[in-house]
Structure 1
Amino acid sequence: MEIHHYIPELGNLALTFAFGFALALSIVPFWGVRKNNHPIMELAPNLVVGQFIMTAISFGCLVYAFATDDFSVINVAQNSTSLLPFEYKIAASWGSHEGSILLWLLMQSCWNIGFAVFSKQLPKDTRTLVLVVLGWISVGFYAYVIIASNPFERTLPYFPVDGRDLNPLLQDPGMIFHPPMLYLGYVGMSVPFSFAIAALILGRLDTSWAKWSRPWTLLGISCLTMGITLGSWWAYSELGWGGWWFWDPSENAAFMPWLVAVALFHSLIATEKRGVFVSWTLFLAIAAFSFSLLGTFLVRSGVIVSVHAFANDPERGIFILGLLAFVIGGSLTLYAMRITHVQKDRTQYAAISRETTLLMNNMLFIAATIVVLIGTLFPMLHKQAGLGAISVGQPFFDQVFSWLLIPFSFVLGVAPMMRWKQDNLNRLFKSNIYVFVVSLILGLAWVLGQFGQWNFTAIVSASLGCWITLISLRELFKTAQKLGWAKIPKAHWGMIIGHIGFAVTLAGGGMATQFTDERAVKMHIGDKVELSGYTFHLKDIEATYDSNYEGHGARIEVLKGNQPVGSILSEKRFYTVQKTVMTEAGVDVGFTRDLYVSLGTQFDDGSWGVRLYVKHYVRWLWAGGILIAIGLIIAIADKRYRRKTGKLQERAA
């Protein structure tokens, strides 16, 4: 047997060693903390390095097995084929349930080693205990992979000639980027969680843990934001009808930890700056990671029905449920035991103050999380109670979120302008009323001027987007007048960019939801169809193919008046291994609109079914998500996060 046939065994062995390093990390340094033994505590970073190296080797072996078509590995045989393009062979390594969990562990080990490298300025016992908690989390997932979800199991003595192919829905560039980024965000919530648990164990329930965990929280939210944004874009481009968010249970599973994590970040600001909300911030740190684990359970246990769900295996679901119960139950028990020792708020604040607006902000985020949680779990609970099948769909979520977004957007605009401890309502009213009026006028003019019709939802979303943008820019200019452009802290720049990013997403979401023009037609070659001022001309039907599919592509030229706009190719693909037909939409991208074409089936008379869309401002959704992530990254670069622990100071929230 050639040497490369032993690569899966090497991967399995490396996985076992990684588990050993994680187990040692969860026990040995903890003993050092209990005994205040510094040499033993110093072992923690070395154990993290060992865990990372072994996990990387294990994951590399899995990728190698996919890249070399080693169909003696069950995971490869079930999720790849020799005909699969090479880039999708690599992506297929995390396209299965088993591979996705190993990717999770790789992301976890990356966060662990990143923290070990960039946290040397922290008190030794705090740093060590955070690594220990990260080790505890890792142990649970390594045990899950080894016992219930091993990606290196063999088909031997049977040896399939070829594999079953990767699900055609996953054969998209989104598969290459979306899962790794989303998992970085999921796992990133383990660091603030570990800070909170370390603070509870050590009894140091002051504000120090908040300033240490804040940059890690920012980085985790940034990754999660990009992961969700990429997922939305992937769904839009791949599913063939241009939907960008379906309130699918798997989408909700990623959205809930994002909502709690953003609430956590804003709470950390108040805790770090003013010494308030300490107990609340500790709870949010626990909740953010708990919702990440809940999302993992929902997607991988088979309790929900979703095109995104990975597994339908009750045994695996029970294992994850046990891990979920242990982490959430144990952390909340520790929280309940220790929370009475939390220092009282060191400052008092009035009802009109920035502290109050941040608290209102948190309440709205938690209310949104509860809505998503109920809407996601209620159908399952209803069915399990024997009351029959029921669905909670988009109308429910859209209606509830519409009313939550209005007060949230208003508070988001006002909060940066407010003073800590106490402010004056008359001052706020006088300084902001004209911005509010201008925002309403701009929103109204925007919708009526471009679309020529009254639409309440679109006008509100456009006006709120203008409100947040204008008031953020005014805050930026005021800060520049006070400090000078060169001295504006990066954290302040990050806040402004992040808030404007939310405004862009809000305006884009309202427009895209309310103003999508659609037409389903039958077209022969040479036919022309008018839609929203555009002419779609079916020029030709051409053959399309790749290594693992063949099909037809509709070449459509688009004109506006007599001016050519672009050429769109929409395909109907037949995947030869799985015998599956898929639609690959064609899109002409624009700043304020997308022209979206989806090719249907061919009729007996030789014509083709074609669905045409003009989607207004849909790109703004993802542009806003990118801006939010960029703002968070810029905030992390603030120099206060590079100072020694004793010199960390807040310059701007």
Structure 2
Amino acid sequence: MIAETGHFALVLAFAVALLQTVLPQIGAYRQDARLMAVGVPAAQAQFLLVLLSFAALTAAFVTSDFSVYAVAQHSHSAKPLLYKITGVWGNHEGSMLLWILILSVFGAAVATFGRDLPDSLRARVLSVQALIGVAFLAFLLFTSNPFTRLDPAPIDGGGLNPLLQDPALAFHPPFLYMGYVGFSMAFSFAVAALLEGKVDPGWARWVRPWTLAAWMALTLGIAMGSWWAYYELGWGGWWFWDPVENASLMPWLVGTALLHSAIVVEKRGALKSWTILLAIFAFSLSLIGTFLVRSGVLTSVHAFATDPERGLVILFILAFFIGGALTLYAWRAPQLKGGGLFAPVSRESALVLNNLFLAAATVAVFVGTLYPLGLDALTGEKISVGPPFFNMTFVPIVLPLLLLVPLGPLLAWKRSDIYPVLQRLFVAAGLAILTIIAVAAFYSEGPWLAPIGLGLAAWLVFGAFSDIAYRVKAFKAPARESLRRMRHLPRAVWGSTLAHAGVGIMVAGIVGISAWRVESVAAMTTGEVLEVGGYEIMLATVGAYEGPNFRAEKAEFIAMKNGREIARLRPEKRVYPVQNMPTTEAAIYTAWVSDLYVVLGDRRGENEWTVRAYVNPLVPWIWIGSVIMVLGGAVSLSDRRYRLGIPFARRKAPVAAEGTAS
């Protein structure tokens, strides 16, 4: 009965989503308050029904109910409880249900906390959000029902892909989906604004927190996926330019541009049409990512389905929303009034440049990702687009963007003078130059561009805090005055500073592993020593053991530096009997400024194994920087202006509000 309850809840959610799509939209058109008000309880009811359905599927996985097809295909009685739970979204049907659950969470959140929105705008936003829900609920019910029964039920299940049985990847999809689906709110606000024919600073204040929340989740999801690939796949790298990796990067880039563009709409009333377009494209690229992993066009551990028919349905959904939104944009965008003018040297201009570079970078990734797939589909010719292409296209676009990042926050709105801004960045520039000189002296044998890369990282970090130093009058005012100013700085300023500094720290990590990585491969017997990057690692023992649902060979290495033991590393090579699939569990010793990374390879003889060892300088900083970026976003999101949007009092007194705004 649990599965049937979940299925029935999905059917009811579909019916409620239909009502939520139609009635509030009619109400907004007729200015009928009663019909517009239907959107709020409908969105809340849709969330509760989808949550009930998701809970039912989770119960089926936890209790190993193999009469449910999804459980039989993707779970096993011997799996640890954690992976029984995460197996709910480790498959196509369950992951789509999670996708819809998160969609309903965002809709219910706007319904519950968006009481200060204009009634017609809120009604239209909830209607568009429900329309997305209708499409994907229909897709789930008619093509990918997660509650399909098996008769007779198998004794045991097929198990979850062993590569997915990992804590980092277990929680990677929910965060990734929160990012993907979170951009649906920006999309819904954009379409609602086009229907209303109005984009104003109040609209931007409401779009920014939802976009920021989605951006934070997507940043964390991408970072967790990168970390998983680093230690689980045994290759010692952090990014491979895999098409599915790129599918997550593209909406992140556009979402970053949207965050900055919305600031201009809020502060100056400019870039309205462009911001609407970015909101449409951010979610559109999320839909493209959904299509890639479910259409069968990719063979990847990231892919949830290989059914072209279901992929075709998603393609129709994608075409409907992207094509419909762009058609509406072409019709209504010319009616949006432009904002104030600004000089070539101003904060607005800096944010426009930021958007142009991010858009160009997105196009580079888009072409490199989809061109091989399109060529294969049209001609059958298979080509590979890998790191060399992206290094020659993406990197040259991003570098000038990073150089300009510290300048933006220091520029004034409307018109600014570049020379005072450069003076405020004098200390940051000096520290960046000192970094270049020091690194070049330490690594005198090259590569020669690496010191410049670390200098750029220093420029980003110190440049970010230059804005804080200028605002608090550091070293110019008394210390007590500077501290007082620091306490009263808006949280959004601290958040922006942390996010930009996090980018700098991440850049340092990327430069370190790219420039100075050391690798050593050898066939070793117990007692032998392998030297790699100033470390000596001795293979002490190799033994077998049985895990809960796998068999493993586990080695123990003694890591030494300058003759002194610093760590014991225990890499594993596992085999999961149900799928007859091997996995690699790397062992990593982190010294915060570098990683010693050891992988146990195949057995070559009675007492000999292939061993690969890497020293990856600064690589932990990639994920430290990512976490700092997310922390910066969280600090900004805690700013009262983000949480409140348009104060309720202003809605109650429109005349006063207009007077205040003027």
TM superposition score category, shorter chain reference? over 0.9
The total of aligned residue pairs comes to 641
Equivalent position of 2:397 in the other structure? 404
Q: Distance in 1 between matches of 2:18 and 2:84?
A: 32
Equivalent residue for 1:147, pick from 132, 139, 142: 142
Distance 1:642 1:584 in 2: 43
Indicate the residue corresponding to 2:460 in structure 1: 468
Aligned counterpart, 1:250: 244
Aligned-pair CA distance for 1:577: 1.0
In the TM superposition, what is the alpha-carbon distance from 1:310 to its structure 2 partner? 1.4
User: Hey, what does 1:19 align to over in structure 2?
Assistant: 14
Report what 2:653 is aligned to: none
Secondary structure of 1:536's aligned partner:
strand
Aligned pair 1:604/2:597, yes or no? no
CA contact (8 A) 2:3 2:57 kept: yes
SS of residue in 2 equivalent to 1:382: helix
Counterpart position of 1:569: 570
Counterpart AA for 2:321: V
Question: Does the Cα contact within 8 Å between 1:556 and 1:567 map onto a contact in 2?
Answer: yes
SS at match of 1:385: helix
- 1:360 shift after superposition: 0.6
Q: Does 1:291 align with 2:285?
A: yes
Cα distance between partner residues in 1 of 2:423 and 2:87: 58
Partner of 1:596: helix, strand, or coil? Answer: strand
Check if 1:128 corresponds to 2:128: no
- For 1:162, the equivalent position in structure 2 comes to 156
SS of the residue corresponding to residue 8 of structure 1 reads helix
Once superposed, what is the RMSD of the aligned Cα atoms?
A: 1.6
The one-letter code of the counterpart of 1:463 is G
Q: Deviations over 1:78-133 (max 9, x none)?
A: 11111111110111111001111001011111111122222111111111211111
- Name whichever of 247-256 and 519-528 sits farther off: 519-528
Q: Secondary structure at the match of 2:530?
A: strand
* 1:152-551 superposed matches below 5 A: 152-156=147-151, 158-345=152-339, 347-386=340-379, 388-432=381-425, 435-446=428-439, 448-449=441-442, 451-481=443-473, 484-551=485-552
Task: Write the distance in 2 (CA, Å) between the matches of 1:447 and 1:187.
Answer: 44
Contact map agreement 1:207 1:278 (CA 8 A) in 2 = no
For residues 139-178 of structure 1, give each alpha carbon's deviation from its aligned partner in whole angstroms, at most 9, with x where no partner exists: 111001001111111111x221111111111111123210
Instruction: Say whether residues 1:61 and 2:56 are aligned partners.
Output: yes
* Unpaired runs of at least 5, structure 2: 474-481, 651-656, 658-662
Tell me the distance in 2 between the aligned counterparts of 1:385 and 1:116. Answer: 45
Q: Which moved more, 1:513-522 or 1:494-503?
A: 513-522
In structure 2, relative to structure 1, the CA distance for the partners of 1:161 and 1:642 (3 Å cut) is: closer
The 8 Å contact of residues 196 and 209 in structure 1, kept in 2 or not, is answered as no
Q: Residue 160 of structure 2 aligns to which amino acid in structure 1?
A: L
Residues 86 and 387 of structure 1, relative CA distance in 2, 3 Å threshold: closer
Quote the offset at 1:495 in angstroms: 0.4
Equivalent position SS for 1:413: coil
Structure 1 pair 311/437, CA: closer, same or farther in 2 (3 Å)?
same
Within 2, Cα distance between the matches of 1:547 and 1:472? 48
User: 1:554 offset after TM fit, Å?
Assistant: 0.6
What displacement does 1:434 show?
Answer: 5.5
- Displacement of 1:607 after TM fit? 0.8
> Offset at 1:352?
1.2
Q: Quick check: 1:81–1:166 contact (8 Å CA) kept in 2?
A: yes
Residue 96 in structure 1 maps to residue 88 in structure 2: no
SS in 2 for 1:93: helix
Q: Within 1, Cα distance between the matches of 2:236 and 2:373? A: 27
Residue identity matched to 1:633: A
| Partner AA of 1:258 in structure 2 | W
How far 1:605 sits from its partner (Å)? 4.1
- Confirm or deny: 8 A CA contact 2:358 2:398 kept in the other structure: no
Native 8 Å contact 2:295 2:311 kept in 1: yes
Which whole-Å CA distance do the structure 2 matches of 1:120 and 1:84 have between them? 45
- Give the deviation of 1:234 after TM superposition: 0.8
Once residues 275 and 549 of structure 1 are traced to their aligned partners in structure 2, the CA distance between those partners, rounded to angstroms, is 59
Q: Distance in 2 between matches of 1:94 and 1:540?
A: 38
8 Å CA contact 1:80–1:165 kept in 2: the answer is yes
Cα distance in structure 1, aligned partners of 2:444 and 2:566? 23
Contact in 2 for aligned 1:448/1:454 (Cα 8 Å): no
The residue number in structure 1 matching 2:476 is none
The 8 Å contact of residues 164 and 170 in structure 2, kept in 1 or not, is answered as no
Q: Distance in 1 between matches of 2:596 and 2:465?
A: 32
CA drift of 1:441 comes to 2.5
Match of 1:31 among 26, 30, 34: 26
Aligned AA (1:320): I
Q: Distance in 2 between matches of 1:11 and 1:178?
A: 24
Paired residue type of 1:317 = G
Q: Which amino acid aligns with 2:8?
A: L
Give, as a single letter, the amino acid of the residue that structure 2 aligns with 1:552: E
Structure 1 residue runs of 5 or longer lacking an equivalent are 1-5
CA displacement, residues 585-639 of structure 1 (integer Å, 9 cap, x when unaligned): 1111221111111111112242111111111111111111111111111101111
Once the two structures are superposed, residues 240-292 of structure 1 have per-residue CA deviations (whole angstroms, 9 ceiling, x without a partner) of 11121110000011000000000001000111111111111111011111111
Deviates more, 1:53-62 or 1:381-390: 381-390
Q: Is the partner of 1:122 in helix, strand or coil?
A: coil
* Deviation string, structure 1 residues 190-246 (Cα, Å, up to 9, x no partner): 111111111111111333311111111111101111011111001111101112111
Aligned-pair CA distance for 1:430: 4.2
Counterpart AA for 1:500: A
Cα distance in structure 2, aligned partners of 1:457 and 1:260: 28
Per the alignment, residue 3 of structure 1 pairs with none
What does the per-residue CA deviation read over 1:487-520, in whole Å, with 9 as the maximum and x for residues that have no partner?
0000000000000000011111111112111111
Instruction: Tell me, in whole angstroms, the C-alpha distance in 2 between the residues paired with 1:574 and 1:469.
Output: 44
Residues 558-567 or 214-223, more deviating: 558-567
Q: Which amino acid aligns with 2:164?
A: L
Q: TM-score, normalised by structure 2?
A: 0.94
Q: Does 579-588 or 275-284 show the bigger shift?
A: 579-588
1:114 pairs, out of 96, 102, 109, with 109
Distance 2:358 2:299 in 1: 26
CA separation in 2, counterparts of 1:455 and 1:544? Answer: 44
Tell me by how many angstroms 1:431 deviates. Answer: 4.1
Q: Is the Cα contact below 8 Å between 1:205 and 1:341 reproduced in 2? A: no
Residues 205 and 645 in structure 2, CA contact (< 8 A), matched pair in contact too = no
Name the aligned partner's letter for residue 464 of structure 1: L
What's the offset of the Cα at 1:561?
A: 1.3
1:403/1:553 CA distance change after superposition, 3 Å: same
- Name the CA distance, whole Å, in 2 between partners of 1:394 and 1:225: 21
Counterpart contact for 2:509–2:620, Cα < 8 Å: yes
* Secondary structure of residue in 2 paired with 1:131: helix
2-structure distance, mates of 1:605, 1:311? 41
Contact 1:74 1:155 in 2 (8 A): yes
**How far apart, CA to CA, are the structure 1 residues paired with 2:466 and 2:418?**
19
The 8 Å contact of residues 525 and 539 in structure 1, kept in 2 or not, is answered as: yes
